[in-house]
Structure 1
């Protein structure tokens, strides 16, 4: 995610990297479900962490659909 954010002046590159971060976030949700099903974490913790992950996903989704809002401001203006 940091790599994409530092390159936000290039919208296509930015969206590509943020999309990668969104996929990683989805993998995290799958890992949480796996951890719960194996008894490593309690269902309540999975729910709490999944909610946080869904919040992150919402933010990433906004960045993907509105990359212009995250464009670096030029220092010369």
Structure 2
């Protein structure tokens, strides 16, 4: 397995990004009165999974910060599932769409949980002190 050089190389990031794009498309048909509540919230939480993964990756040399940002991503994933519960309850999405999205977000949850249980596989301290390239 090749070393992952960017957060974009993480399977969980790719999956979360695609789901955030799907959420955007699905919510385009939501009622106008939901624009600043449900629509905005589910779009924000689904995108926040991705941004928290990127932040975690950017701070992976600090294991505690890395784990904290992964935990934030997991919390956003769970929040997205709550908003999906509201979507199906109010008939903004059908049961098939709901089940598909919940299953996909469940997979993201499992991936994030695995990362949280094994942060050392991703979070590495630098080998030595950084050398200045400025003379």
TM-score w.r.t. the length of structure 2 is 0.53
Aligned equivalents of 1:18, 1:45: Cα separation in 2: 26
Q: Report what 1:51 is aligned to.
A: 103
The normalised TM-score by structure 1 is 0.90
2:80 to 28, 36, 39: 28
- RMSD of aligned alpha carbons: 1.7
Alignment of 1:4 onto 2:38: no
Aligned residues of 2:62 and 2:125 also touching (Cα < 8 A): no
3-state SS of 1:8 partner: coil
In the other structure, the counterpart of 1:60 is: 112
Aligned twin of 1:70? 122
Q: Which runs of 5+ in 2 are unaligned?
A: 1-52, 129-135
- Greater relative CO, 1 or 2 (CA 8 Å, sep 6+): 1
**Higher Cα radius of gyration:** 2
- Structure 1 stretches lacking a partner, 5+ long: none
Secondary structure in 2 matching 1:40: coil
Equivalent pairs counted in the alignment come to 76
Whole-angstrom distance in 2 between the partners of 1:12 and 1:71: 9
